[in-house]
Amino acid sequence: MENLKTASIIDGKEVSARVRAELKAEIEYLKQKHGLTPGLAVVLVGENPASKVYVRNKTRACEETGIRSFQHTLPESLSEGELLTLIKELNASKEVHGILVQLPLPKQINEEKVLESISPQKDVDGFHPYNMGRLMIGSPLLQPCTPFGVMRLLESTGADLSGKEAVIIGRSNIVGKPMAMMLLRKNATVTICHSRTKDLPEKVRGADIVIAAMGRAQFVKGDWIKEGAIVIDVGINRAPDGKLVGDVDFEGASRKASFITPVPGGVGPMTIAMLLKNTVEAAKKLASI
Ligand code: NDP
């Protein structure tokens, strides 16, 4: 007989709505009690259409939550020096608690130099080497939003991560590596896989927690998943029919996993929610609250 058991869906829209509602209440309190309105500066350089959409979504999310947003839209021809001058001003501004420079930047601008010029206390993307280092030593200040959001999704399942085998597929600085540090802090035993990993299916078969962050459509198959595993799909890929799909074969994996995130509607909505959270945390720290 066919096995009809399917995994519980981890609803990223619902969890992110909860995070935003908590933040809205907290921001209201900060305004009333401390006269503090958290502020996020979003810097967009050039005409990248995807970047424009991301910036619009982030600005709208700020407004809905009560965060003041300061949008800086700058021409493609902007020089590195001009951008560094703006960041210096934002670093010094009393009203700005978070600074986000939308990537990618035009080719005449060195991204690394720009990201390092952001004050680590206002680095709400968590990409500054200082914040990466803090996470590495187990004392995080501001954490990268996507893996931070994944942790919140894992928490929503109620699972105890201690002693669990976690396999992360992908080793990027924005997802895979910080993800590993966050899971390690929760006492999981972490394996990071990448394009040179030998026998990936076998590695995944041993995992209680699978984090797929490779950017390869439906690469992770259902029969790689251990019975009862938690599967988090970070990937966002465009299938040939135009639909958005993750890195995991959702149908197949659902028959084995205990919990699974859908794409879209899983990790995606969490990223912006955690950006808002980081902005509020940064504002509180800067105001010594
Ligand atoms: P990168 O391209 O920077 O990294 C991909 C990683 O996957 C690399 O470490 C690469 O290995 C590894 N990889 C690629 N192919 C294979 C393979 N066949 N087997 C094993 N490992 C492989 O991507 P990002 O980390 O930036 O993003 C990953 C995915 O997550 C993308 O789909 C992206 O769109 C999505 N994403 C989603 C977000 C969200 O908000 N939901 C936010 C950020 C990203 P190697 O290092 O060896 O090349």
Which DSSP letter does residue 181 get? H
Element (H, E) at 268: helix 268-286
Give tens-digit pLDDT for 61-76.
999 999 999 999 999 9
Residue 220: φ, ψ to 5°: -85, 120
pLDDT digits (tens, 9 = 90+) for 67-109: 999 999 999 999 999 999 999 999 999 999 999 999 999 999 9
Give catalytic status of residue 277 as yes or no. no
125 is catalytic: yes
**Residues in the chain, pLDDT under 70:** 1-4
172 CA from centroid of ligand 1 (Å): 6
Angle, helices 268-286 vs 12-34, to 10°: value is 20
Nearest CA to ligand 1 atom 34: 236
**Annotated catalytic residue, options 121, 122, 123, 125:** 125
Cβ burial, residue 79 (10 Å; 0-12/13-18/19+): exposed
* 191 C-beta closer than 6 A to ligand 1: no
Closest-lying ligand 1 atom to the alpha carbon of residue 267: 41
Other beta carbons within 10 angstroms of residue 75's beta carbon come to: 10
Q: Cα separation of 20 and 15, whole Å?
A: 9
Residue closest to 289 by CA, chosen among 7, 61, 84, 27 = 27
User: How far apart are the CA of 138 and the centre of ligand 1, in A?
Assistant: 24
Dihedral of the alpha carbons of 264, 278, 179, 268, in degrees to the nearest 10: 0
Residue with tokens 């003041």: 68
* Distance of alpha carbon 212 from alpha carbon 130, whole angstroms: 26
Distance 165 CA to ligand 1 centre (A): 20
**Residues paired with 237 in a beta bridge:** 245
CA-based nearest residue to 225, from 180, 165, 178, 282: 165
Instruction: Say if pTM beats, i.e. exceeds, 0.85.
Output: yes
What is the distance between the alpha carbons of residues 245 and 121, in angstroms, rounded to a whole number? 35
Q: What is the pLDDT of residue 2?
A: 53
- The reply to whether 58 belongs to the active site is yes
Helix (H) / strand (E) element for 98: namely: strand 98-101
Q: Determine the pLDDT at residue 4.
A: 64
Name, in order, each residue with C-beta under 8 angstroms of 53's C-beta and a sequence gap of 6 or more. none
pLDDT score of 3: 55
**CA nearest ligand 1 atom 39, residue:** 268
DSSP letter (8 states) at residue 202: H
Tokens representing 215?
């950017």
CA 284 to chain centre: 21
Quote the CA–CA distance of 10 and 261 in Å, as a whole number. Answer: 5
> Domains in the chain, please, with CATH?
35-119 (3.40.50.10860), 144-268 (3.40.50.720)
Distance CA 17, CA 118 (A): 29
